[in-house]
Amino acid sequence: MGRGLFARVPCDCPLCGARVRGARLCEGCEADVAGDPSVPRCPCCALRLGLAAPHCVACLGPPRAYTRTIAAFDYEPPADTLISQLKTQLRLSAAPVLARLLAQAVRRQEATPPGMLLIPVPSSRASLRRRGMNPAAEIARGLAAQLALPLTCTALRRRRDTPRQTALGRRARLSGAAGVFHCARDLSGRHVGLVDDVMTTGSTAQAAAKALRAAGAASVTVLVAARTPQVA
């Protein structure tokens, strides 16, 4: 079924089961997931700020390889259910829902330079074997359609697999992700939107952005469906 046709077919809201049209949440669930857009966030990593500070503490250190991060929502209930549906339950129907929410966040911030190239973070070989798909790539395909932007899923590649990061702390994640990625395409002068499903410490985004900048990218903006509200 084509994406355009799927967007018009009546279906159930993936969170509450209410009848909706196409790959979306009902109005109530969408409001719950999106939260308050006026809540201050770190402009670099999109971490929700509890105090009136211009940046989070982590982003006050050495400059990041990416210039900014846009997140559709925080990785907490009820929104985290959407991520679980895609990554754990392998429900591909969750991908266009996540892409639509992320596209709305991007439009609100007017963060798409003309010709921005979308590139998803590649999954590890172990994850691909386990899931049979790359969640970031599935979201990126929907996002490209929503924003009418070009997409390539083959430019960014992994040099090696890394341990699953869910049980690792910030330092372990940063050291483990260093040098993991390389870019197989000349990106000279291109503005890149790096797409991922969840951002926690930013270690994966930093490693991927470094590879993209090394390939000539003029800038890298991280576009992530969910941002964890606390950095481990």
* Structural domain contains residue 6: no
Residue 88: predicted pLDDT: 95
* Structural domain contains residue 13: no
Residue 175: predicted pLDDT: 56
Residue 115: predicted pLDDT: 83
Q: Is 57 exposed, middle or buried (0-12, 13-18, 19+ CB in 10 A)?
A: exposed
Residue 232: predicted pLDDT: 44
Taking only the tens place, the pLDDT of each residue in 188-209 is 999 999 999 999 999 999 999 9
Only one residue has tokens 């279906």, namely 11
* Structural domain contains residue 219: yes
Domain span including residue 143: 40-227
More confident: 113 or 176? 113
**For position 105, which CATH number holds?**
3.40.50.2020
Taking only the tens place, the pLDDT of each residue in 50-85 is 767 788 888 888 889 999 999 999 999 999 999 999
Residue 114: predicted pLDDT: 79
What's the chain's Rg over C-alpha atoms?
17
Residue 37: predicted pLDDT: 81
Question: Is residue 116 over pLDDT 90?
Answer: yes
Residue 180: predicted pLDDT: 93
**Start-end of H helices in the chain:** 3-6, 27-34, 80-87, 94-109, 125-131, 135-147, 170-177, 203-214
User: Read out DSSP for 91-122?
Assistant: -TTHHHHHHHHHHHHHHHHT---TTPEEEEPP
What's the domain count of the chain?
1
* Structural domain contains residue 7: no
Distance, in Å, from the CA atom of 132 to the CA atom of 54, rounded to the nearest integer, reads 40
* Structural domain contains residue 14: no
Q: In the predicted model, what is the mean pLDDT of residues 92-116?
A: 90
* Structural domain contains residue 24: no
What percent of the chain shows pLDDT beyond 70? 88
Taking only the tens place, the pLDDT of each residue in 3-28 is 555 556 788 999 999 999 888 999 99
Distance, in Å, from the CA atom of 73 to the CA atom of 70, rounded to the nearest integer, reads 9
* Structural domain contains residue 28: no
Residue 1: predicted pLDDT: 45
Q: In the predicted model, what is the mean pLDDT of residues 134-160?
A: 95
Backbone phi, psi, residue 195, to 5°: -100, 130
Q: Are 169 and 232 in contact (CB under 8 A)?
A: yes
How big is the CA angle at 154 (ends 148 and 157), to the nearest 5 degrees?
A: 130
What percent of the chain shows pLDDT beyond 90? 68
